[in-house]
Structure 1
Amino acid sequence: MEAGGNSLPSGPDGSKRKVYYFYDPEVGNYYYGQGHPMKPHRIRMTHALLAHYGLLQHMHVVKPALARDRDLCRFHADDYVAFLRSITPETQQDQLRQLKRFNVGEDCPVFDGLYSFCQTYAGGSVGGAVKLNHGSDIAINWSGGLHHAKKCEASGFCYVNDIVLAILELLKMHERVLYVDIDIHHGDGVEEAFYTTDRVMTVSFHKFGDYFPGTGDVRDIGYGKGKYYSLNVPLDDGIDDESYQSLFKPIMGKVMEVFKPGAVVLQCGADSLSGDRLGCFNLSIKGHAECVRYMRSFNVPLLLLGGGGYTIRNVARCWCYETGVALGVEIEDKMPQHEYYEYFGPDYALHVAPSNMENKNSRQLLDEIKIKLLDNLSKLQHAPSVQFQERPPDTEIPEVCIAKFLALFVSGSESLLILEDEIFDQVLFLRLLFAQKLVKPTINEKVLGIQLWFRQAFSIDSQVINMLKHCKPLSGRVKREYLEPKAMSSLHLQEDQKEVEYARETDTAFTETKASYSGSMLIDEPQIKLEQDNINKSSDQPTEMNS
């Protein structure tokens, strides 16, 4: 399957698309430090090229709203987000233990404005997802695509995983989302986040072997319901355009045929280009952009993100050209005069010829990889788990349960009696609190068939009540965000409206309708109704949960 489908409603001619481009003029001011290869200045250089090639006039240009704490906490742990918010170059020597815990240091340094930088690039990616959810065809955020960040730690120059956050936003509207990564480094953070779900398929084309992050073996295929929903294409040094496309198009064509995603996220890391400061591939800009052109041809809502790329003049060239591909506009090779013109000498051209480096990817090796991956994809057609109805899995408690606990905590009572029948999630949450010595439990459990009911009584130290108001469970994967609202049992809420609203805020419900949108990026929050009669009504049956 080597061709796309019919054009999107806004692109009947098969070329034009409704495109939103997210850019913050301040993003180029952030500085990782002297000698560090990651340079946000490349985003400003890209924007200058877009402006002088006349591409901005073909797009809706949007300044992203900053992602809020709670937006980042949809994936990342609360204490990690709090750390990023508080750490500064002046205070880092006082937080050495935290720096080590969250893997912040040499590769991921502390610099001025670090948290604002994270809010900016994450805001652009989530904002792009919101636009796609509201009918746009393509959204672009070249400052995003930081695919190595984990739930509780920074990694590989990445602090916040904007890609995971954007995919979670897309899952509000789409049953299935496809993630494709053409950065030279394995997209480990995104793969890990969705490793056990069949609602998100991740496909990564990357250098494999003695190379960061060291993951992404062809045998890594996902787990549980996510088995065969992680595809890894391990490559060797020097791969050229022809060899790359001999894998990319057959594999991605089959993925689109079998998985049928409602939206696609394409991470366009430019460190896979020939001549990259840290890379070892030999792709031309046109060869790299052919991946964008091919994924665009399927006419599925498409989010284009940046990523790696450390020869910054070539990064700007690449993302400028790929913006043109997204728009269906072919731009000339001769570069127009602009403020960064001298960066592109001596030829002052958009395209750069690949080198004559050896291609260590033999035809036999490439064929073996292709056969293996196509075979894995063929198994999806018969896999009983391919129902595409599960929400992203959460290994621990969903936020809807937190609301119930918070509602109790804000009542100010130091001795609480909780009757619950949602044993699995409650027990995991309570274990977390017990481990942190925040509560003293008295548990009496009884097994009734496959249902486990319990009566839980514990006392809360008054000194930690405020902490518990802001406490959320840690999770090794993605939080389950799309549960139906549940009635709370005898909560006796008598606090002022502000506190009650705080408890409600943590509860989320899945809605099939499109939420209203305003501003350049407001993360759509499903409407939640907690009527007083529901709050005070006891539930006699266990609440069904999506796993």
Structure 2
Amino acid sequence: MRSKDRISYFYDGDAGNVYFGPNHPMKPHRLCMTHHLVLSYDLHKKMEIYRPHKAYPVELAQFHSADYVEFLQRINPDTQHLFPEEMAKFKLGEDCPVFDDMFEFCQIYAGGTIDAARRLNNQLCDIAINWAGGLHHAKKCEASGFCYINDLVLGILELLKYHARVLYIDIDVHHGDGVEEAFYFTDRVMTVSFHKYGNLFFPGSGDVKEIGEREGKFYAINIPLKDGIDDTSFTRLFKTIISKVVETYQPGVIVLQCGADSLAGDRLGCFNLSIDGHAECVRFVKKFGLPLLVTGGGGYTKENVARCWTVETGVLLDTELPNEIPDNEYIKYFAPECSLRIPTGHIENFNSKSYLGTIKMQVLENLRCIQHAPSVQMQEVPPDFYIPDFDEDEKNPDERIDQHTQDKHIQRDDEYYEGDNDNDHNMDDA
């Protein structure tokens, strides 16, 4: 084990200020709540905090189709009625509404995951956290399940430049279908998703029989669960399967999606996990001592999402947090008890021992079909997309520099740097 993990944490308050619309379950405001809770526990003093760069369209098009990226960039709430065909083609609408600053929101959360991957690649940290990321449903040419850009796929593509094998683990209550689909035909990424599975439960995929195809056969692992799974059965199954996966696949880096909609009491979820149960999975993955990229994901009871991701930030920092939440800007959301832990749920557990035993046996059987960890002839590493440095002499005086470009040269006063951390936000130069 490393003596002390170096942790990079990515945050931009602008991502938490967007609004999906009335009655929409996705509340990016949970990101501000999480961040302020992290600050109130003084966790920022133990990490390097970075504001991510806004991912460029050319970076997003490393996975997504150029016409889809271009449409996301162009569309806004006032013009969407003019493009009914494109709206339908790209699956924008009720679940994935067009809202103000939507494309900038995508650029920020995707930029955070890309930057996190680059810092890991360059060995500038051991663990990188982007709670704004983890939007695992987005497809190459369409939005899905509140996700527009699949930051996880973009981060994994970045990690593949330096690592022969990437392990992706997903503990969101919904199947990580967008990530699985992106890497379904390759053995260079193993995807492991623990999720609720049922015909009527979104996205409807993730059967244990879905195992990958061609070179990717046996490299997609699905653990379909029923309503009401509790801490004991979930963590036992998780540890058994993940231990075997790491031993068999021998990944060089792990990406962990920590969707908090698998917690008890989630507005859209149906599991009985406590925050401690959810965080136990994070603790277990950290123990492998491999480079680790951690993201958020789903989570629709926002005060519990903030509690969960704060506890998990503490876990990644080896810091036990007192149960009483310190005063902070959002303390009223945690009233009246103002405690960090939440009770487990009371949904009946439909996951019998025999059902879980059968799933476990099928997964372990599939893992036995992998002879050994695939080896890859690594090519010369393709360059990162460098954000252009502006030369004063070459600047067109008639061209307005956007505010974000100017901001890149200024340290914002809402950022928290301790000691002599590198204040340059341009991760690409790292």
Same fold (TM over 0.5): yes
Contact (CA 8 Å) 1:126, 1:521: kept in 2 or not? no
What SS does the aligned partner of 1:26 have? helix
The match for 1:91 is 79
2:256 to 248, 255, 266: 266
The match for 2:279 is 289
CA distance in 2: counterparts of 1:292 and 1:239, whole angstroms: 18
Is 1:232 aligned to residue 222 of structure 2? yes
The match for 1:67 is 55
Q: How many residues align?
A: 390
Deviations 1:172-205 (A, max 9, x none): 1111000000000000000000000010000000
The match for 1:323 is 313
CA distance in 1: counterparts of 2:280 and 2:25, whole angstroms: 26
Amino acid at match of 2:297: G
Contact (CA 8 Å) 1:296, 1:302: kept in 2 or not? yes
The match for 1:243 is 233
Deviations 1:369-425 (A, max 9, x none): 00110111111126xxx533178xxxxxxxxxxxxxxxxxxxxxxxxxxxxxxxxxx
1:54 to 42, 48, 53: 42
The match for 1:275 is 265
Alignment gaps of 5+ in structure 2: 384-421
CA distance in 1: counterparts of 2:429 and 2:41, whole angstroms: 34
CA distance in 1: counterparts of 2:218 and 2:110, whole angstroms: 28
TM-aligned CA deviation for residue 26 of structure 1: 1.2
Alignment gaps of 5+ in structure 1: 1-6, 392-479, 485-516, 526-547
CA distance in 2: counterparts of 1:60 and 1:48, whole angstroms: 16
Cα pair distance change 1:99/1:371, threshold 3 Å: same
The match for 1:155 is 144
Q: TM-score by structure 2 length? A: 0.88
Is 1:358 aligned to residue 348 of structure 2? yes
CA distance in 1: counterparts of 2:374 and 2:254, whole angstroms: 19
Contact (CA 8 Å) 1:130, 1:521: kept in 2 or not? no
TM-aligned CA deviation for residue 523 of structure 1: 4.9
The match for 2:339 is 349
The match for 1:387 is 374
Contact (CA 8 Å) 2:270, 2:347: kept in 1 or not? no
The match for 1:426 is none
CA distance in 1: counterparts of 2:94 and 2:195, whole angstroms: 23
The match for 2:28 is 40
The match for 1:439 is none
Deviations 1:19-59 (A, max 9, x none): 00000021111000011000100000000000010100000
TM-aligned CA deviation for residue 524 of structure 1: 7.9
Is 1:172 aligned to residue 161 of structure 2? yes
TM-aligned CA deviation for residue 308 of structure 1: 0.1
CA distance in 2: counterparts of 1:206 and 1:388, whole angstroms: 29
TM-aligned CA deviation for residue 233 of structure 1: 0.1
The match for 1:105 is 93
Cα pair distance change 1:518/1:91, threshold 3 Å: same
- Larger C-alpha radius of gyration, 1 or 2? 1
CA distance in 1: counterparts of 2:159 and 2:429, whole angstroms: 10
Amino acid at match of 1:187: G
Is 1:29 aligned to residue 17 of structure 2? yes
CA distance in 1: counterparts of 2:35 and 2:382, whole angstroms: 40
The match for 2:211 is 221
What SS does the aligned partner of 2:300 have? coil
CA distance in 2: counterparts of 1:257 and 1:191, whole angstroms: 21
Contact (CA 8 Å) 1:198, 1:390: kept in 2 or not? no
The match for 1:143 is 132
Amino acid at match of 1:363: K
What SS does the aligned partner of 1:234 have? strand
Cα pair distance change 1:44/1:111, threshold 3 Å: same
Contact (CA 8 Å) 1:184, 1:281: kept in 2 or not? yes
Contact (CA 8 Å) 1:127, 1:520: kept in 2 or not? no
The match for 2:407 is none
What SS does the aligned partner of 1:82 have? helix
What SS does the aligned partner of 1:265 have? strand
The match for 1:536 is none
CA distance in 2: counterparts of 1:229 and 1:37, whole angstroms: 32
TM-aligned CA deviation for residue 134 of structure 1: 1.4
Cα pair distance change 1:166/1:519, threshold 3 Å: farther
The match for 2:192 is 203
Amino acid at match of 2:137: H
Is 1:370 aligned to residue 360 of structure 2? yes
CA distance in 2: counterparts of 1:524 and 1:229, whole angstroms: 34
CA distance in 2: counterparts of 1:91 and 1:330, whole angstroms: 49
Within 5 Å, which residues of 2 pair with 1:429-468?
none
The match for 1:503 is none
Contact (CA 8 Å) 2:255, 2:294: kept in 1 or not? yes
TM-aligned CA deviation for residue 355 of structure 1: 2.1
Amino acid at match of 1:116: E
The match for 2:389 is none
CA distance in 1: counterparts of 2:322 and 2:135, whole angstroms: 30
Q: TM-score by structure 1 length? A: 0.69
TM-aligned CA deviation for residue 483 of structure 1: 7.9
Higher relative contact order (CA 8 A, sep 6+): 2
Amino acid at match of 1:63: R
Deviations 1:194-241 (A, max 9, x none): 000010000000000020000000000000110000000000000000
Amino acid at match of 1:185: H
Q: Identity of counterpart residues, as a percentage?
A: 56
2:173 to 176, 184, 198: 184
Contact (CA 8 Å) 2:119, 2:427: kept in 1 or not? no
CA distance in 1: counterparts of 2:30 and 2:288, whole angstroms: 29
What SS does the aligned partner of 1:292 have? helix
What SS does the aligned partner of 2:369 have? helix
What SS does the aligned partner of 1:380 have? coil
Within 5 Å, which residues of 2 pair with 1:449-488?
none
The match for 1:520 is 425
Contact (CA 8 Å) 1:127, 1:521: kept in 2 or not? no
TM-aligned CA deviation for residue 522 of structure 1: 4.2
